[in-house]
Protein backbone atom coordinates (compact mmCIF):
# COMPACT_ATOMS: atom_id res chain seq x y z
CA UNK A 1 0.00 0.00 0.00
CA UNK A 2 1.24 3.51 -0.84
CA UNK A 3 1.95 5.86 2.03
CA UNK A 4 -0.14 9.05 2.20
CA UNK A 5 1.95 12.14 1.50
CA UNK A 6 2.53 14.63 4.34
CA UNK A 7 0.54 17.21 2.41
CA UNK A 8 -2.51 14.95 2.15
CA UNK A 9 -2.34 14.11 5.87
CA UNK A 10 -2.07 17.82 6.75
CA UNK A 11 -5.05 18.67 4.54
CA UNK A 12 -7.27 16.00 6.04
CA UNK A 13 -6.24 16.99 9.61
CA UNK A 14 -7.19 20.59 8.78
CA UNK A 15 -10.49 19.43 7.33
CA UNK A 16 -11.29 17.46 10.50
CA UNK A 17 -10.33 20.48 12.63
CA UNK A 18 -12.50 22.88 10.65
CA UNK A 19 -15.42 20.41 10.75
CA UNK A 20 -15.03 20.22 14.53
CA UNK A 21 -14.88 24.02 14.82
CA UNK A 22 -18.02 24.32 12.71
CA UNK A 23 -19.86 21.73 14.81
CA UNK A 24 -18.86 23.52 18.00
CA UNK A 25 -19.97 26.85 16.53
CA UNK A 26 -23.35 25.43 15.50
CA UNK A 27 -23.80 23.98 19.00
CA UNK A 28 -23.09 27.40 20.53
CA UNK A 29 -25.39 29.05 17.99
CA UNK A 30 -28.28 26.73 18.91
CA UNK A 31 -27.69 27.32 22.64
CA UNK A 32 -27.65 31.11 22.05
CA UNK A 33 -30.80 31.04 19.95
CA UNK A 34 -32.66 28.97 22.57
CA UNK A 35 -32.32 31.93 24.96
CA UNK A 36 -34.11 34.24 22.49
CA UNK A 37 -37.88 33.82 22.50
CA UNK A 38 -38.65 35.30 19.09
CA UNK A 39 -36.58 35.94 15.98
CA UNK A 40 -37.97 38.14 13.25
CA UNK A 41 -36.17 38.98 9.98
CA UNK A 42 -36.85 42.11 7.95
CA UNK A 43 -36.51 41.55 4.22
CA UNK A 44 -37.41 43.17 0.90
CA UNK A 45 -36.97 42.62 -2.77
CA UNK A 46 -35.39 46.04 -3.33
CA UNK A 47 -32.88 48.31 -1.65
CA UNK A 48 -33.71 51.70 -0.21
CA UNK A 49 -37.31 50.83 0.70
CA UNK A 50 -36.66 51.33 4.43
CA UNK A 51 -35.76 47.91 5.86
CA UNK A 52 -33.16 49.26 8.28
CA UNK A 53 -35.45 52.13 9.29
CA UNK A 54 -38.26 49.65 9.90
CA UNK A 55 -35.94 47.31 11.85
CA UNK A 56 -34.75 50.09 14.17
CA UNK A 57 -38.23 51.48 14.77
CA UNK A 58 -39.86 48.07 15.27
CA UNK A 59 -37.11 47.14 17.73
CA UNK A 60 -37.66 50.39 19.65
CA UNK A 61 -41.43 49.88 19.45
CA UNK A 62 -41.04 46.44 21.06
CA UNK A 63 -38.81 47.98 23.76
CA UNK A 64 -41.43 50.69 24.40
CA UNK A 65 -44.16 48.06 24.41
CA UNK A 66 -42.86 46.47 27.63
CA UNK A 67 -39.71 44.75 26.45
CA UNK A 68 -36.99 47.28 27.34
CA UNK A 69 -33.59 45.56 27.86
CA UNK A 70 -35.00 42.53 26.10
CA UNK A 71 -34.63 43.35 22.41
CA UNK A 72 -31.69 42.80 20.08
CA UNK A 73 -30.85 43.82 16.52
CA UNK A 74 -28.56 41.79 14.31
CA UNK A 75 -27.46 43.97 11.42
CA UNK A 76 -26.94 41.20 8.88
CA UNK A 77 -26.20 43.62 6.06
CA UNK A 78 -22.54 42.67 5.94
CA UNK A 79 -21.49 44.96 3.09
CA UNK A 80 -23.75 47.92 3.90
CA UNK A 81 -24.27 48.01 7.68
CA UNK A 82 -26.11 51.13 8.81
CA UNK A 83 -27.79 50.24 12.12
CA UNK A 84 -24.90 51.70 14.20
CA UNK A 85 -25.35 55.10 12.52
CA UNK A 86 -29.13 55.00 12.88
CA UNK A 87 -28.76 54.46 16.64
CA UNK A 88 -25.77 56.81 17.16
CA UNK A 89 -23.58 53.85 18.13
CA UNK A 90 -20.98 54.30 15.41
CA UNK A 91 -18.06 54.88 17.73
CA UNK A 92 -18.85 51.93 19.98
CA UNK A 93 -17.30 48.50 19.82
CA UNK A 94 -18.27 44.93 20.57
CA UNK A 95 -16.90 44.28 24.08
CA UNK A 96 -14.42 41.45 24.40
CA UNK A 97 -14.05 40.10 27.93
CA UNK A 98 -12.65 36.88 29.34
CA UNK A 99 -16.23 35.59 29.40
CA UNK A 100 -16.95 36.36 25.78
CA UNK A 101 -18.02 38.97 23.26
CA UNK A 102 -20.89 41.28 24.16
CA UNK A 103 -23.23 43.27 21.91
CA UNK A 104 -23.18 47.05 21.97
CA UNK A 105 -26.01 48.33 24.16
CA UNK A 106 -28.09 51.21 22.80
CA UNK A 107 -31.23 53.13 23.83
CA UNK A 108 -33.74 51.25 26.01
CA UNK A 109 -31.13 48.54 26.51
CA UNK A 110 -31.26 47.38 22.90
CA UNK A 111 -28.42 44.95 22.10
CA UNK A 112 -26.83 45.51 18.71
CA UNK A 113 -24.33 43.55 16.65
CA UNK A 114 -23.15 44.83 13.28
CA UNK A 115 -20.24 44.49 10.91
CA UNK A 116 -20.08 48.28 11.27
CA UNK A 117 -18.56 47.85 14.76
CA UNK A 118 -15.67 45.85 13.32
CA UNK A 119 -14.63 48.08 10.42
CA UNK A 120 -11.83 50.59 10.92
CA UNK A 121 -13.76 53.36 9.13
CA UNK A 122 -16.97 54.17 7.26
CA UNK A 123 -15.10 54.08 3.97
CA UNK A 124 -13.73 50.56 4.47
CA UNK A 125 -15.55 48.28 2.03
CA UNK A 126 -16.26 44.64 2.79
CA UNK A 127 -15.44 42.74 -0.38
CA UNK A 128 -16.52 39.22 0.45
CA UNK A 129 -18.11 36.35 -1.37
CA UNK A 130 -21.03 34.31 -0.04
CA UNK A 131 -19.19 31.77 2.18
CA UNK A 132 -17.33 34.52 4.06
CA UNK A 133 -20.55 36.44 4.65
CA UNK A 134 -22.20 33.27 5.94
CA UNK A 135 -19.25 32.63 8.23
CA UNK A 136 -19.51 36.18 9.67
CA UNK A 137 -23.24 35.78 10.31
CA UNK A 138 -22.64 32.38 11.91
CA UNK A 139 -20.06 33.94 14.23
CA UNK A 140 -22.39 36.82 15.12
CA UNK A 141 -25.00 34.28 16.17
CA UNK A 142 -22.69 31.83 17.93
CA UNK A 143 -19.78 33.78 19.40
CA UNK A 144 -21.68 36.79 20.74
CA UNK A 145 -23.21 36.46 24.19
CA UNK A 146 -26.66 37.81 23.27
CA UNK A 147 -28.10 36.64 26.58
CA UNK A 148 -31.80 36.22 27.30
CA UNK A 149 -33.94 38.23 24.86
CA UNK A 150 -37.61 38.44 24.05
CA UNK A 151 -37.07 39.60 20.46
CA UNK A 152 -34.18 39.54 18.01
CA UNK A 153 -34.78 41.59 14.88
CA UNK A 154 -32.57 40.83 11.92
CA UNK A 155 -31.95 43.53 9.34
CA UNK A 156 -31.04 42.09 5.96
CA UNK A 157 -29.71 43.54 2.72
CA UNK A 158 -32.12 43.70 -0.24
CA UNK A 159 -33.03 40.69 -2.28
CA UNK A 160 -32.78 36.98 -1.82
CA UNK A 161 -29.00 36.52 -1.80
CA UNK A 162 -26.34 35.16 0.54
CA UNK A 163 -27.30 36.91 3.78
CA UNK A 164 -31.04 36.12 3.83
CA UNK A 165 -30.31 32.55 2.78
CA UNK A 166 -27.65 32.17 5.51
CA UNK A 167 -29.98 33.53 8.18
CA UNK A 168 -32.83 31.24 7.17
CA UNK A 169 -30.52 28.23 7.16
CA UNK A 170 -28.83 29.10 10.45
CA UNK A 171 -32.07 29.89 12.31
CA UNK A 172 -34.62 27.44 10.91
CA UNK A 173 -36.84 28.00 13.96
CA UNK A 174 -37.25 31.69 13.04
CA UNK A 175 -40.73 32.97 13.92
CA UNK A 176 -41.12 34.71 10.61
CA UNK A 177 -40.25 37.52 8.24
CA UNK A 178 -41.59 41.02 7.75
CA UNK A 179 -41.48 42.17 4.13
CA UNK A 180 -40.98 45.88 3.46
CA UNK A 181 -42.00 47.51 0.21
CA UNK A 182 -42.90 50.91 -1.19
CA UNK A 183 -46.21 51.35 -3.02
CA UNK A 184 -44.92 51.62 -6.61
CA UNK A 185 -45.57 48.83 -9.11
CA UNK A 186 -41.86 48.37 -9.75
CA UNK A 187 -41.49 47.38 -6.10
CA UNK A 188 -44.45 45.01 -6.25
CA UNK A 189 -42.69 42.80 -8.77
CA UNK A 190 -39.82 42.19 -6.36
CA UNK A 191 -42.10 41.74 -3.35
CA UNK A 192 -43.40 38.62 -5.09
CA UNK A 193 -39.85 37.28 -5.16
CA UNK A 194 -39.42 37.92 -1.43
CA UNK A 195 -42.70 36.13 -0.71
CA UNK A 196 -41.78 33.16 -2.94
CA UNK A 197 -38.31 33.02 -1.34
CA UNK A 198 -39.80 32.85 2.16
CA UNK A 199 -42.35 30.25 1.15
CA UNK A 200 -39.72 28.08 -0.55
CA UNK A 201 -37.68 28.13 2.66
CA UNK A 202 -40.81 27.43 4.70
CA UNK A 203 -40.43 30.70 6.60
CA UNK A 204 -43.68 32.07 8.02
CA UNK A 205 -44.54 35.57 6.78
CA UNK A 206 -45.88 38.01 9.39
CA UNK A 207 -46.91 40.30 6.60
CA UNK A 208 -46.08 43.17 4.28
CA UNK A 209 -45.38 46.75 5.37
CA UNK A 210 -45.97 49.55 2.88
CA UNK A 211 -43.33 52.14 3.71
CA UNK A 212 -43.09 55.62 2.18
CA UNK A 213 -46.84 55.50 1.78
CA UNK A 214 -48.02 59.03 1.01
CA UNK A 215 -46.74 62.34 2.31
CA UNK A 216 -48.69 65.04 4.14
CA UNK A 217 -47.44 68.43 2.93
CA UNK A 218 -46.45 70.42 6.03
CA UNK A 219 -47.32 73.67 4.17
CA UNK A 220 -50.85 72.91 2.94
CA UNK A 221 -51.76 69.69 4.79
CA UNK A 222 -52.62 67.97 1.50
CA UNK A 223 -51.71 64.30 1.08
CA UNK A 224 -49.38 63.68 -1.83
CA UNK A 225 -48.81 60.08 -2.90
CA UNK A 226 -45.20 60.38 -4.04
CA UNK A 227 -44.72 56.64 -4.71
CA UNK A 228 -48.50 56.05 -5.17
CA UNK A 229 -50.37 54.36 -2.35
CA UNK A 230 -52.11 51.06 -1.66
CA UNK A 231 -49.65 48.94 -3.67
CA UNK A 232 -48.47 47.05 -0.57
CA UNK A 233 -52.02 46.25 0.50
CA UNK A 234 -52.94 45.16 -3.02
CA UNK A 235 -49.99 42.82 -3.38
CA UNK A 236 -50.61 41.40 0.11
CA UNK A 237 -54.15 40.49 -0.95
CA UNK A 238 -52.96 39.09 -4.25
CA UNK A 239 -50.38 36.90 -2.55
CA UNK A 240 -52.67 35.93 0.30
CA UNK A 241 -50.29 37.46 2.86
CA UNK A 242 -51.28 39.60 5.86
CA UNK A 243 -50.90 43.36 5.47
CA UNK A 244 -49.24 44.93 8.49
CA UNK A 245 -49.67 48.63 7.83
CA UNK A 246 -48.64 51.80 6.02
CA UNK A 247 -45.81 54.07 7.15
CA UNK A 248 -46.12 57.54 5.63
CA UNK A 249 -43.14 59.48 4.34
CA UNK A 250 -41.97 61.80 7.07
CA UNK A 251 -38.87 63.97 6.57
CA UNK A 252 -38.20 63.59 10.32
CA UNK A 253 -37.72 59.84 9.82
CA UNK A 254 -34.85 60.64 7.50
CA UNK A 255 -33.30 63.35 9.66
CA UNK A 256 -33.68 61.29 12.86
CA UNK A 257 -32.01 58.29 11.18
CA UNK A 258 -29.18 60.50 9.99
CA UNK A 259 -28.60 61.92 13.44
CA UNK A 260 -28.93 58.55 15.18
CA UNK A 261 -32.12 59.28 17.11
CA UNK A 262 -34.74 56.55 17.00
CA UNK A 263 -37.67 58.31 15.29
CA UNK A 264 -40.33 56.52 17.32
CA UNK A 265 -38.83 57.88 20.55
CA UNK A 266 -38.17 61.33 19.16
CA UNK A 267 -41.64 61.74 17.56
CA UNK A 268 -43.90 59.35 19.46
CA UNK A 269 -47.14 61.10 18.41
CA UNK A 270 -46.52 61.14 14.66
CA UNK A 271 -48.71 58.96 12.38
CA UNK A 272 -45.63 56.91 11.39
CA UNK A 273 -44.76 56.14 15.02
CA UNK A 274 -48.36 55.10 15.68
CA UNK A 275 -48.17 52.83 12.62
CA UNK A 276 -44.98 51.21 13.99
CA UNK A 277 -46.67 50.59 17.35
CA UNK A 278 -49.69 49.02 15.64
CA UNK A 279 -47.43 46.74 13.58
CA UNK A 280 -45.67 45.54 16.74
CA UNK A 281 -49.05 44.74 18.27
CA UNK A 282 -50.06 42.80 15.15
CA UNK A 283 -46.83 40.78 15.28
CA UNK A 284 -47.41 40.04 18.95
CA UNK A 285 -51.00 38.95 18.31
CA UNK A 286 -49.85 36.68 15.52
CA UNK A 287 -47.21 35.12 17.83
CA UNK A 288 -49.80 34.57 20.56
CA UNK A 289 -52.16 32.88 18.09
CA UNK A 290 -49.37 30.59 16.90
CA UNK A 291 -48.49 29.69 20.49
CA UNK A 292 -52.15 28.81 21.18
CA UNK A 293 -52.32 26.60 18.11
CA UNK A 294 -49.15 24.77 19.27
CA UNK A 295 -50.60 24.10 22.74
N1 LIG B 1 -41.12 56.53 5.84
C2 LIG B 1 -40.03 57.23 5.58
N3 LIG B 1 -40.06 58.59 5.49
C4 LIG B 1 -38.94 59.29 5.19
N5 LIG B 1 -37.73 58.74 4.98
C6 LIG B 1 -37.63 57.40 5.06
C7 LIG B 1 -38.75 56.58 5.36
N8 LIG B 1 -38.34 55.27 5.40
C9 LIG B 1 -37.02 55.29 5.13
N10 LIG B 1 -36.59 56.56 4.91
C11 LIG B 1 -35.22 57.00 4.54
O12 LIG B 1 -34.91 56.34 3.30
C13 LIG B 1 -33.53 55.98 3.27
C14 LIG B 1 -33.41 54.48 3.01
O15 LIG B 1 -33.89 53.76 4.12
P16 LIG B 1 -33.19 52.46 4.66
O17 LIG B 1 -33.90 52.06 5.90
O18 LIG B 1 -31.70 52.63 4.76
O19 LIG B 1 -33.54 51.43 3.48
P20 LIG B 1 -33.01 49.93 3.21
O21 LIG B 1 -32.52 49.38 4.49
O22 LIG B 1 -34.21 49.21 2.68
O23 LIG B 1 -31.95 50.04 2.16
C24 LIG B 1 -32.94 56.39 4.61
O25 LIG B 1 -32.30 57.61 4.44
C26 LIG B 1 -34.15 56.55 5.52
O27 LIG B 1 -33.95 57.53 6.53
MG1 LIG C 1 -30.65 48.61 5.02
Q: What is the mean pLDDT of the chain?
A: 93
Whole-number Å distance, alpha carbon 24 to ligand 2 midpoint, is 31
Report percent pLDDT > 70 for the chain.
99
Residue 136 falls inside a structural domain: yes
> Nearest bound ligand to CA 215?
1
Nearest CA to ligand 1 atom 11: 254
The pLDDT confidence band at residue 222, using thresholds 50, 70 and 90, is confident
Whole-number Å distance, alpha carbon 4 to ligand 2 midpoint, is 50
Residue 115 has pLDDT above 80, yes or no: yes
Residue 155 falls inside a structural domain: yes
Residue 216 falls inside a structural domain: yes
pLDDT at 2: 58
Report the CATH number at residue 56: 3.40.50.300
pLDDT at 138: 96
The pLDDT confidence band at residue 3, using thresholds 50, 70 and 90, is low
Range of the domain at 45: 35-294
Whole-number Å distance, alpha carbon 179 to ligand 2 midpoint, is 13
Residue 3 falls inside a structural domain: no
What are 261-284's pLDDT values in tens digits? Answer: 999 999 999 999 999 999 999 999
- The residue that leads in pLDDT, 245 or 222, is 245
Residue 4 has pLDDT above 70, yes or no: no
Residue 225 falls inside a structural domain: yes
Q: Residue 211: CB within 6 Å of ligand 1?
A: yes
CA distance 114 to 282: 27
Residue 25 falls inside a structural domain: no
Residue 71 falls inside a structural domain: yes
Q: Per the structure, how many domains does the chain have?
A: 1
The pLDDT confidence band at residue 99, using thresholds 50, 70 and 90, is confident
Residue 10 falls inside a structural domain: no
Amino acid sequence: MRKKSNQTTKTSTNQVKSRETLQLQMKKLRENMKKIDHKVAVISGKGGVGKSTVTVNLAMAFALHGYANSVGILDADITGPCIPKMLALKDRQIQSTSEGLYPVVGPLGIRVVSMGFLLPSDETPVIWRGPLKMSAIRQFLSDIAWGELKFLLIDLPPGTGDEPLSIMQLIPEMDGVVIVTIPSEVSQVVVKKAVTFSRKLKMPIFGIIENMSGFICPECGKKINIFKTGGGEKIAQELNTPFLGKIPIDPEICSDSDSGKPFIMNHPDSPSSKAFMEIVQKIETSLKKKAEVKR
